[in-house]
Amino acid sequence: MTTEQLPPADIAPSPQRNVWAQLRPLLLRMHFYAGVLVAPFILLAAVTGLLYALAPQIEQIVYRHELHVPVGERTVPLGEQVAAARAAHPEGRITSVIPPVDETGTTRVLFGDDTVPSGYAMAVFVDPYTAAVRGQVPASGQWLGVRAWIGELHRNLHLGEFGRNYSELAASWMWIVVLGGIALWLARRRTGRRLRRTLLPDTSGRGRSRNLSWHATTGIWIALGLLFLSATGLTWSTHAGARIGDIRSAFEWNSRPLETALTGEAHAAGTGQHHGAPATPTAPKDVMTSGVGIDGVMATARAEGLRVPLFITPPDGDGKAWTVKERKRDWPTRFDAISVDGADGSVVDRLDFADWPFMAKLTDWTIDAHMGLLFGPVNQLVLIALAVGLIYVILRGYRMWWQRRPTRQTGAGARFGRPAPRGALRALSPGVLAVVLALTLGIAYFVPLFGISLALFLIADVILGRRQAGRHPTGLPTSLDESGS
């Protein structure tokens, strides 16, 4: 959604104009600059997001040998499977164990050590029927090698924390571009011949008019999905995400932490210590078999009604409990969790998903939908359609920008399309200007990268405008219009 053809003259202030007549030139100019300067980041996010939407199937193909085994008659104890993984990977601390999710699945034992990059673990896959090791693959959380690589590409282009700014910048501007484009298109079509042209492209058009029609109507169809992706993308971004986290904490929208500290006579007796005495440290390689061991912890989880997929995490220190958490992220979701005393298998604490605050649940649901997990393949297909549609809209927008370039017949020397006329801010009445500034400052506080990039755009616009005014005192525009903002 980009700018319409406008006269090149500056916009003159007119207090008689209604609010929309005042705001329209400002929206046109912002939409133009966001489309030209921020769209590359949005396009990059759309392309990497399209690849990420396909990542689950890619992962299954690449790691089929590690993830699946023939169905056997009976499984060996979980402790023996972990011991087999330890034998294949002697170094490092076991950070979690993920039992098979179905009859053909393997057990995944995750090790934290120096053989993998920071933020990754080494996943060792074990056949639950024979305890044979099927392979080892670096993993980031639930995602294996290639899927984790695709995730990092979408998140930060493999540029570390600095690279996350690209995706946050895209999310910060996308909702503004979408809402501005919707407003401009609906206002344009209100005076058009047919309402259906709002939702369907004009195939009889030619040149830039045809491009605009396809650009805008496609944008209308995918607008709701793009707004969702923008909002959820900001949720776990670096800067805006911190602001959102502060709001969630202020309104107590987070779930409480699971209690893992061990106290009481049962733990003291199970560890051979008197109540209140310090526990004897357990060697990392012995924690799987000391007390009730991992099999006893698993039995407790089953007795408490927890079901796969499960994440079983050993104690992270002396006087700490095991944790067992459900992580069923497709609908209907399950996130119940318990902590278990490894000495006797008793439940230390329980946190049910039903007890989470609604906003904490909603956060998890929306993030999983953004990742294509909540509704399975249907969710993936929607994301693929949104990504393809967004790429199409951006390319159409750049095509329109190119079509607006001055030609030889105009006598102008610019090679690129013109922006909307300048002076949109000066043309606002004091009341409308105050509202616009207050709204902009509020958005900039909660979405810092929007505020920073907008300030840079304005500074560059003023500098370029003055340069162009000096070169073309007659007022003829080139690639950027002249005079003040």
Q: What SS3 string covers 327-342?
A: CECCCCCECCEEEECC
- 86 plus 136 within the same structural domain: yes
DSSP at 474: T
Q: Is the dihedral of CA 16, 20, 21, 22 positive or negative?
A: positive
Q: Give the pLDDT score at 263.
A: 80
What are 98's two structure tokens?
């993920």
CB crowding 29-65: b at 16 or more within 10 Å, else e: bbbbbbbbebbebbbbbbebbbebbbbbeebeeebee
Evaluate whether 315 touches 107 at the Cβ level (below 8 Å): no
How many Å apart are CA 43 and CA 395, to the nearest integer? 9
pLDDT given at position 481: 34
Same structural domain, 288 and 357:
yes
**407 and 451, same structural domain?**
yes
**182 within domain boundaries:** yes
Do both 136 and 227 map to the same domain?
Answer: no
Query: What's the mean pLDDT in 438-454?
Result: 94
The DSSP output letter for 449 is H
Q: Is the domain of 172 the same as that of 33?
A: yes
Domain end marker among 109, 126, 156: 156
Of the pLDDT bands very low, low, confident and very high (cuts 50, 70, 90), residue 43 is very high
pLDDT, tens only, 125-180? 999 999 999 999 999 988 999 999 999 999 999 999 999 999 999 999 999 999 99
Number of domains in the chain: 3
* H-type alpha helices, 35-191: 39-53, 55-62, 64-67, 78-88, 145-156, 160-190
**Two tokens at 372?**
């294509």
pLDDT band at 63 (very low <50, low <70, confident <90, very high): very high
375, part of any domain: no
pLDDT band at 13 (very low <50, low <70, confident <90, very high): low
Confidence class for position 10, pLDDT limits 50, 70, 90: low
Question: Could you tell me if 151 and 86 lie in one domain?
Answer: yes
How buried is residue 102: exposed, middle or buried, by Cβ count under 10 Å (0-12/13-18/19+)?
Answer: exposed
Residue 15 tokens read as 């207090």
Q: What is the pLDDT of residue 188?
A: 78
What pLDDT does 2 receive? 43
Reported in sequence order, the residue ranges of 288-432 that DSSP labels E, i.e. its strands, are 310-313, 322-326, 337-340, 347-351
Mean pLDDT of 224-245: 94
The full length of the chain comes to 485
Using the predicted structure, report yes or no on whether residue 278 has a pLDDT greater than 50: no
Q: 């209308």: which residue's tokens?
A: 220
**Local structure of residue 409 (DSSP, 8 states):** G
For residue range 215-226, what is the model confidence (pLDDT) as tens digits? 999 999 999 999
Domain boundary, last residue among 112, 137, 156: 156
Range of the domain at 210: 19-38+159-245+380-471
Quick one: CA dihedral 110, 279, 298, 288, positive or negative? Answer: positive
Domain check: are 27 and 78 in the same one? no
Q: Is residue 260 part of a domain?
A: no
Q: Rounded to an integer, what distance in angstroms lies between the CA atom of residue 262 and that of residue 353?
A: 23
* Residue 198 is assigned to a structural domain of this protein: yes
Q: Could you give the dihedral angle defined by the CA atoms of residues 418, 422, 424 and 427, in that order, rounded to the nearest 10 degrees?
A: -140
Domain co-membership, 448 together with 466: yes
**Quick one: 302 and 233 in the same domain?**
no
Is position 415 within any domain?
Answer: yes
Answer yes or no: are the C-beta atoms of 437 and 451 closer than 8 Å.
Answer: no
Q: Which amino acid type is present at position 359? A: M
Q: In terms of domains, do 165 and 151 share one?
A: no
Query: pLDDT > 70: what percent of the chain?
Result: 83
- Residue 63 in any domain: the answer is yes
CA distance 263 to 455: 55
Q: Is the pLDDT of residue 207 over 90?
A: no
> Helices (DSSP H) in 13-54: which residue ranges?
19-33, 39-53
If one counts every other C-beta atom within 10 angstroms of the C-beta of residue 412, the result is 17
Of the candidates 78, 392, 52, the residue with the CA atom closest to the CA atom of residue 220? 392
Choosing from 156, 182, 203, the residue where a domain stops is 156
Q: Each residue of 338-351: pLDDT tens digit?
A: 999 999 999 999 99
48 assigned to some structural domain = no
- Classify strands 133-140 and 107-112 as parallel, antiparallel or unpaired: unpaired
Q: Are residues 365 and 386 in the same domain?
A: no
Residue 275: what pLDDT? Answer: 36
**CB count, 10 Å around CB of 28?**
21
Q: Is the pLDDT of residue 237 over 50?
A: yes
Question: In terms of domains, do 421 and 436 share one?
Answer: yes
Is there a domain that residue 138 lies in?
yes
Tell which wins on pLDDT, 485 or 307: 307
Q: Give me the mean pLDDT over the 239-257 stretch.
A: 91
| pLDDT of 35 above 90 | no
